[in-house]
Amino acid sequence: MSEGGGLGVSVVIPVYNEEAVLPALFARLYPAMDALGRSYEVIFVDDGSRDRSAAELRRQYQARPDVTRVVYLRANAGQHAAIMAGFEYARGRAVVTLDADLQNPPEEIGKLLAAMDEGHDYVGTIRRQRQDAKWRDVASKAMNRLRERITSIHMTDQGCMLRAYDREIVQAILDSREVNTFIPALAYLYSGKPTEVVVAHEERAAGESKYPLYKLIHLNFDLMTGFSIVPLQVFSMVGVGISVASFLFVSYLALRRLIIGPEVEGVFTLFGILFFLVGVLLFGIGLLGEYVGRIYVQARGRPRFLVRSVLGAEPAPPGEGG
């Protein structure tokens, strides 16, 4: 990371209804950043919060206008779209993403930047001790393994958003006008020299998780279908296998009927097979729907986010989320 004249680090933090945790975040983030001795800016993206987060952010901007910028989105756009919005405004050579809830300690940012100094353009993180609920831990491990095999994106710990990207990677992410994306995975695709460092992980400091089980499952669907067509191919293969097997089975039944004569006892077996086939079909239609849905969303071409106002921005960024 060369500090050739420009700003050293941009820290991008999406904020959605986090009034409970923001004071604690400010109290730890700013001293940690000051201690690094690098030029930096913190970009908060208020993702359409309905609590007092917006006011808290304004207060913090007034307290540290030199290093703080706040981007207010018009409506809730989702965590990753909010980060994208932050990317649009980030000016640093290195861009660090961080959650607002203090699950990833801001004191670890220095570690990521040190790895960037060594020439890495993408620094992922592995949580030393997961502090999530047990089922989440197990579920996310299983998903990780599956994702890695399907998408060839190597992320030991996909759930951790404390990550650092080089300027060029951030630009590439902004240029790929993708909706419903997963930023760390996209960044990994573009990275030439990725690495991972181990960071501490804490319990959410206050407030509650914005990711219920449903959203978590959907995120993983996005990851699979957004970065790979293997699920589609697997499904076609399964389809081929089943067609061949059923063809053989039907031929056998026909022969048997010709040679031994009609029979009724096998009816339930046939039902069993039928239901199985219907199940496979429905799953396949759902899978197709995932892809068609992505095409639909992409074809619609709605903006990923809409900016209402910005605190502390001098030049307007080139585009608005497009």
Binding site for ligand UDP (CB under 6 A): 14-16, 18, 47, 76, 78-79, 82, 99-101, 103, 209-211
Q: What whole-number distance in Å separates Cα of residue 49 and Cα of residue 71?
A: 12
98 or 307: whose CB is closer to Mg ion?
A: 98
91 or 127: whose CB is closer to ligand UDP?
A: 127
Q: Return the SS3 of 93.
A: coil
Count how many Cα atoms sit within 13 Å of the Cα of residue 258 in the half-sphere of its side chain. 6
Find the shortest distance in angstroms from Cβ 134 to ligand UDP.
15
256, two tokens: 């048997």
Q: What whole-number distance in Å separates Cα of residue 233 and Cα of residue 251?
A: 27
The site partner of 40 among ligand UDP, Mg ion, none (C-beta below 5 to 8 Å per kind) is none
Q: Does 101 bind Mg ion (CB under 5 A)?
A: yes
The site partner of 18 among Mg ion, ligand UDP, none (C-beta below 5 to 8 Å per kind) is ligand UDP
Q: Which of 235, 188, 25, 171 is nearest to 109 (CA)?
A: 25
108 or 166: whose CB is closer to Mg ion?
A: 108
Find the shortest distance in angstroms from Cβ 18 to ligand UDP.
5
Find the shortest distance in angstroms from Cβ 145 to ligand UDP.
19
Q: What whole-number distance in Å separates Cα of residue 89 and Cα of residue 69?
A: 9
The site partner of 125 among ligand UDP, Mg ion, none (C-beta below 5 to 8 Å per kind) is none
Q: Does 56 bind Mg ion (CB under 5 A)?
A: no
47 or 166: whose CB is closer to ligand UDP?
A: 47
211 or 221: whose CB is closer to ligand UDP?
A: 211
Q: Which of 154, 107, 147 is nearest to 126 (CA)?
A: 154
Using the rule CB under 5 A, give the single segment among 6-14, 103-111, 267-275, 296-304 that binds Mg ion.
Answer: 103-111
Q: DSSP letter string over 215-252?
A: HHHHHHHHHHHHH-SHHHHHHHHHHHHHHHHHHHHHHH
List % helix, strand, coil for the chain (3-state, nearest 5): 50, 15, 35
The site partner of 56 among ligand UDP, Mg ion, none (C-beta below 5 to 8 Å per kind) is none
* Binds Mg ion by CB under 5 A, chosen from 103, 125, 180, 220: 103
Q: Does 17 bind Mg ion (CB under 5 A)?
A: no
Angstrom distances, CA of residue 3 to CA of 152, 167, 169, 286, 314 = 33, 12, 16, 49, 20
Q: Does 222 bind Mg ion (CB under 5 A)?
A: no
Using the rule CB under 5 A, give the single segment among 30-38, 102-110, 142-150, 257-265 that binds Mg ion.
Answer: 102-110
Tell me the sheet residues that pair with 127. Answer: 199
Question: Strands 94-97 and 9-15: what pairing?
Answer: parallel
The site partner of 157 among ligand UDP, Mg ion, none (C-beta below 5 to 8 Å per kind) is none
Using the rule CB under 5 A, give the single segment among 68-76, 97-105, 106-114, 250-258 that binds Mg ion.
Answer: 97-105
The site partner of 15 among Mg ion, ligand UDP, none (C-beta below 5 to 8 Å per kind) is ligand UDP
Q: Does 47 bind Mg ion (CB under 5 A)?
A: no
Question: Strands 163-166 and 307-311: what pairing?
Answer: unpaired
27 or 292: whose CB is closer to Mg ion?
A: 27
Tell me the sheet residues that pair with 165. Answer: 95, 122
* Contacts (Cβ under 8 Å, ≥6 apart) of 94: 1, 8, 9, 10, 113, 116, 164, 165, 166, 167
Contact positions toward Mg ion, by CB under 5 A? 99, 101, 103
